[in-house]
Amino acid sequence: MRKMLKNLEKHQESIKKSIRAIAHAPDLSINFSSGIENTVFENKHVTLPQITSPKQLEFIKGLADSAAFRLKFDVNSYTLNPHIKHEKCLAHLITARCEILGMEQYPGTKKNILVKLLETQKINDDYTQFLYTGLHYYLNNFAIDLSPKTKIFVEQYKEYFEHLKLALNDKEEFLSAAKNLINILPIKKEEKKAQVEVMDSETPIETVSQPPEYIPTEEKSSFNLKTPTLIEGSQINHTSFLDNKILDYKIFTTEFDQEIPAEKLESIEKLKILRDQLSLKTAGIRKEFEQQARKFKQKLMARRFCKWEKMHEEGVIDSTKLAGLISNQKLNNVFKKFKQDSLNDTIITLLIDNSGSMRGNNIATASILADLLSKTLDSLQISIEVLGFTTLDWKGGKSFQKWLGAGTPKDPGRLNGTLHILYKKGFDSWRKSYRNFGLMLKESMLKENIDGEALKWAAERILKRPEKRKILIVISDGAPLDEVTIANNSPDYLSSHLMNIIKRIEKMPLELIAIGIGHKVEKFYKNSISIKNHNHLGEVLFSKLDQVINKFFR
* 238 or 533: which leads in pLDDT: 533
pLDDT at 198 over 60: no
d(CA 178, CA 163): 9
State which H helix or E strand residue 198 sits in.
strand 196-198
pLDDT at 531 over 70: yes
Looking at mean pLDDT, say which of 55-59, 331-335, 346-350 comes out highest: 346-350
pLDDT at 217 over 50: no
pLDDT at 232 over 50: no
pLDDT at 44 over 50: yes
Instruction: Write down all domains in the chain, each with its CATH number in brackets.
Output: 2-215 (no CATH), 243-282+342-537 (3.40.50.410)
CA distance to 4, 294, 465, 520, per residue, from 297 (Å): 38, 5, 23, 29
Percent of the chain with pLDDT over 90: 32
pLDDT at 436 over 70: yes
Q: What is the pLDDT of residues 315-327, one digit of tens each?
A: 666 666 655 555 5
pLDDT at 247 over 80: no
What mean pLDDT comes out for the span 265-278? 93
What mean pLDDT comes out for the span 342-369? 89
Q: What is the pLDDT of residue 490?
A: 92
Looking at mean pLDDT, say which of 137-141, 326-330, 537-541 comes out highest: 537-541
pLDDT at 163 over 90: no
What mean pLDDT comes out for the span 412-436? 93
Q: How confident is the model at residue 215 (pLDDT cuts 50, 70, 90)?
A: very low
Among 139-153, 263-277, 340-354, name the one with the lowest average pLDDT: 139-153
* 519 or 449: which leads in pLDDT: 449
- Please give the DSSP secondary-structure letter assigned to residue 312: E
What mean pLDDT comes out for the span 511-517? 92
d(CA 209, CA 228): 15
Residue 509: Cβ-neighbour burial (10 angstroms; 0-12, 13-18, 19+): exposed
Nearest to 99 by CA among 57, 141, 127: 141
Q: What is the pLDDT of residues 293-343, one digit of tens each?
A: 888 888 877 665 455 666 666 666 666 665 555 555 556 676 666 565 557
What mean pLDDT comes out for the span 2-30? 79
Cβ neighbours of residue 328 closer than 8 Å, sequence gap 6 or more: none
Q: What is the pLDDT of residue 246?
A: 61
CA distance to 77, 179, 290, per residue, from 128 (Å): 15, 13, 37
What mean pLDDT comes out for the span 509-516? 92
- With H, G, I as helix, E, B as strand and everything else as coil, classify residue 343: coil
Q: What is the pLDDT of residue 322?
A: 58
CA distance to 253, 259, 270, 305, 311, per residue, from 354 (Å): 22, 14, 18, 38, 54
Q: How confident is the model at residue 288 (pLDDT cuts 50, 70, 90)?
A: confident
pLDDT at 203 over 70: no
Dump the DSSP string for 104-146.
HH-GGGHHHHHHHHHHHHHH--SHHHHHHHHHHHHTT------
CA distance to 61, 132, 158, 209, per residue, from 306 (Å): 26, 34, 48, 17
Q: How confident is the model at residue 46 (pLDDT cuts 50, 70, 90)?
A: confident
State which H helix or E strand residue 208 sits in.
none
What mean pLDDT comes out for the span 18-22? 89
C-alpha dihedral, 377 to 232 to 187 to 144, nearest 10°: 80
Q: What is the pLDDT of residue 303?
A: 62
What mean pLDDT comes out for the span 374-391? 91
pLDDT at 231 over 60: no
Whole-number average pLDDT of the chain: 79
Q: What is the pLDDT of residue 270?
A: 94
Q: What is the pLDDT of residues 93-107, one digit of tens each?
A: 999 999 999 998 998
Cβ neighbours of residue 454 closer than 8 Å, sequence gap 6 or more: 351, 387, 389, 418, 420
- With H, G, I as helix, E, B as strand and everything else as coil, classify residue 254: coil
Strands 469-476 and 346-353: parallel
Strands 528-531 and 258-261: unpaired
